[in-house]
Structures are given as structure tokens and as C-alpha cells.
Amino acid sequence: MFELDQIGNELSPYEDKLKDMGKLLGVEEAKEKIAELEEISADPEFWNDMAKSQKTMQTIKGLKDKVNGYENLVSKYEDIYTLIEMGQEEEDAEILEEVKQESEEFKENYEKLRIATLLDGEYDRNNAIVTLHAGEGGTEACDWVSMLYRMYTRWANKKGFSLETLDYLDGDEAGIKSVTLRISGPHAFGFLKSERGIHRLIRISPFDASGRRHTSFASVDVMPDVGDDIQLDIKETDLRFDTFRSSGPGGQSVNTTSSAVRVTHIPTGISAQCQNEKSQHHNKESALRILKARLYNLELQKREAERAAQYAGKDAIAFGSQIRTYTLQPYRLVKDHRTNSECGDVEAVLDGQIDQFQHDYLLYRHEQQR
């Protein structure tokens, strides 16, 4: 059957692509590491150090997921060719439809795994701490932050990731001045690092009675949630703690006590705060976690000149430093200025469909590093 031959020809380049992917993923090395770690986990004293043993088991799971994902893809590829041979012998229309469906699923799965191979940064597997700040534009900018907050919330929900609001500051009239989130899920930081930078919105203002077009800016800061993965030498004497009343959402009981906590690292001046919980103790823990991520991020900036360059314009949340523009008027378009990736379905993007921009950014970074 001609159509089966055509599908076979379309899929034939994937044989070499799969071999290259296997090398890029380090499948054979991963199998050896799994065997090594499983031997360690079989030791009767393995569970004596619970934290270390849990981390080892997580590593084993991650390696197995990588190997299984690749081997399942290879198996699917081979099964499609078996179906093609059967279809050619029997000239069965049902087999043709099955081959079409299986080949489309294979291509989708291949693309997903290809993107996963690009998430190979040191902390790409970690959860992410995301902070949004309103820039130039006053109430407009605060409203823009609330739109971005919704966008990332929707994105996290679509991914099946969990989201926790750690800090929240309302705008003076509307919207949000700033908000800090922890987004937890596989490779959350790896995907969200593409969002770091200045985001620009162009639209007819809903707050302007004359219906003029306004430009608003917001900064998005993304850091890996390093948790206990790293050890930073932070002296207790270098920290200053301040408590204050919560000003964000949470009900009357949140706002009537000084439960919010701000912690400042005196030598660097870097600070973090949390006011989401009713408990001052829980807010202190979260604030310290954010501070630790920010201090670690500072160290990364010192070690990596490129990352420092990415943050060079962070203080000026205004025109000329944006990484992405969302245009609602006079036409509708979202454009990433680093990759030139575009999407005309602005509503879908603002509803959390930002995978295209994240994937294109990963490919862009991969090409830069070659």
C-alpha cells in the first residue's frame, strides 16, 4: 500500500535520531548507575541515614524514568514497522489507520523526550521559586502582574504541578504589586527558567476612560528551589528578622497578628519575605528557603558570566529590556525576542499555553552552547 510506504519513508530518519538521542541521554551509563545504586540500596544499613537513602532512591527513580522513556520509544518505533509490514502483506485498511495513529503518537512522544534531553542543567530537575514584580505602568503594571500570576498558575495546573503562594502584595488600586510562588513538579525550574526577564504588555487600558493604548512591564525572576541540596555558609549573626502584619489575601485572622516575616542577609542586602501562612514559624521557614535560593542564585551569577548578563537589566523594568511582548492592540501577537518564537493566539498563551516558548528557548540555549 502506497500510504504505508510513505509513512515508513517519513519515519526512517528517526532511526539515526533515536541512536543519537540514546547517546545524548546517556542510556547505557544510566543503566550502569542504576545497577550501582541498587547494589548500595541492598545494604542492610542503607536506611540508617533516611535523608541520604531517600535521595538515592529518587536518583534511581529518575534514572529509570529516563531509561524506560527511551526504551519505550524505541519499542514503539519498531512496532510501527512491524505493523507496516503486516499492512503491506494483508492490504488491511484497519492496519493503515492504526499505523497512522501510532506514528503520530510516536512523533509526539519523540518530541517530548527530545525536549527532556535539553533539561540537563545542574538544577533543572528542581522545583522553582518564581517572583513577579510590577514595573513601570502603575495600576496597569499591577494588573499585568495579576495576569501573569494567572498564566503561570494555569500552566502549573495543566502540567499537574503543585503551586504554593509564599508572598503576596496587593496593588494600591488593583492587581498585584509582587508575588512569590513555589511551583513543584518534574523539571519545574528547567522549564520555567525560560520565563526569567522582563515581560511587556501592550493593550487598550481598562483603567483609562479615554481608551488609550498603554504599555506595562513586569519582571519575572526564577530560581531553583535548592532546599537541602546545597550547603551555604550562612551565619546566624548575618541575618536580620523583621515581623509585620500580613497585607495579602488570607482572611481576617492573617492580618490581625504580626505573622509575616522578612529576613535580610546583612552582608549582601538580599532579603526575602513570606506572609502567606497564619503561623509566624512557617513564614520564617519559607522566607529562609527563598533567601537561600536567592543567595545561591547570586553565587551562580558570579560563576556564570552569561547568567549575570541575563540579569543585567533587572533593575530597569522598562522599555528595551523585555524578553517577551504580549500585544493585544492594535494586533494580537505574543513574541519572544530571544528566539523570535511567535503565537497569534494571545488568549491561549495567557491561559497558560506557554510550552511553545519554553521549548523554543531550550533549543535556542542548546544551540548557543554547542
The pLDDT value recorded for residue 307 is 44
**Taking CA 210 as the corner, what is the angle to CA 206 and CA 211, rounded to the nearest 5 degrees?**
45
Task: Decide: helix, strand or coil at residue 327.
Answer: strand
- What is the domain partition of the chain in residue ranges? 2-118, 126-370
**What CA–CA distances, in Å, run from 90 to 8, 11, 58, 99, 331?**
16, 21, 47, 14, 53
Between residues 159 and 123, the one the model is more confident about: 159
How many whole angstroms separate alpha carbon 58 and alpha carbon 172? 44
Tens-digit pLDDT profile for residues 1-53: 678 989 999 999 999 999 989 988 889 999 999 999 999 999 999 999 998 99
> Which is it for the CA torsion 52, 55, 59, 61, positive or negative?
positive
Half-sphere exposure of 282 (CA within 13 A, CB side): 10
- Work out the average pLDDT over 344-369: 91
The pLDDT value recorded for residue 252 is 45
- Judge contact between 134 and 178, C-beta under 8 A: yes
Strands 322-327 and 197-204: parallel
Cis peptide before 249 (omega within 30 of 0): no
Hey, which residues does 214 pair with through a beta bridge? 203
Instruction: pLDDT band for 365, please (50, 70, 90 cuts).
Output: confident
The pLDDT value recorded for residue 142 is 95
How many whole angstroms separate alpha carbon 116 and alpha carbon 365? 14
Residue 251, pLDDT > 70, answer no
Tens-digit pLDDT profile for residues 261-320: 899 999 989 888 888 777 888 888 888 888 888 887 787 777 665 544 544 444 455 555
Task: Decide: helix, strand or coil at residue 187.
Answer: coil
What is the residue-wise DSSP string for 262-301? Answer: EEEETTTTEEEEE-SSS-HHHHHHHHHHHHHHHHHHHHHH
User: Which of 151-155, 182-186, 207-211 is most confident?
Assistant: 151-155
- Judge contact between 212 and 204, C-beta under 8 A: yes
H-run or E-run covering 338? none
Between residues 213 and 148, the one the model is more confident about: 148
Q: CA nearest 258: which of 281, 288, 237? A: 281
Tens-digit pLDDT profile for residues 124-183: 989 999 999 999 778 999 999 999 999 999 999 999 999 999 889 998 888 999 999 999
Q: Residues near 23 by Cβ (< 8 Å), separated by ≥ 6?
A: none
Tens-digit pLDDT profile for residues 59-73: 899 899 889 999 999
Check whether domain 126-370 has CATH 1.10.10.60, yes or no: no
Check whether domain 2-118 has CATH 1.20.58.410, yes or no: yes
What value does the CA radius of gyration of the chain take, rounded to a whole number of Å?
Answer: 24
Tens-digit pLDDT profile for residues 34-44: 999 999 999 99
> Which is it for the CA torsion 156, 299, 30, 48, positive or negative?
negative
How many whole angstroms separate alpha carbon 216 and alpha carbon 194? 20
**What CA–CA distances, in Å, run from 308 to 44, 116, 293?**
46, 25, 16
For the chain, the average pLDDT equals 87
Tens-digit pLDDT profile for residues 98-107: 999 999 999 9
Same fold yes or no, 2-118 and 126-370: no
The pLDDT value recorded for residue 312 is 46
C-alpha cell at 229: 541540596
The pLDDT value recorded for residue 156 is 97
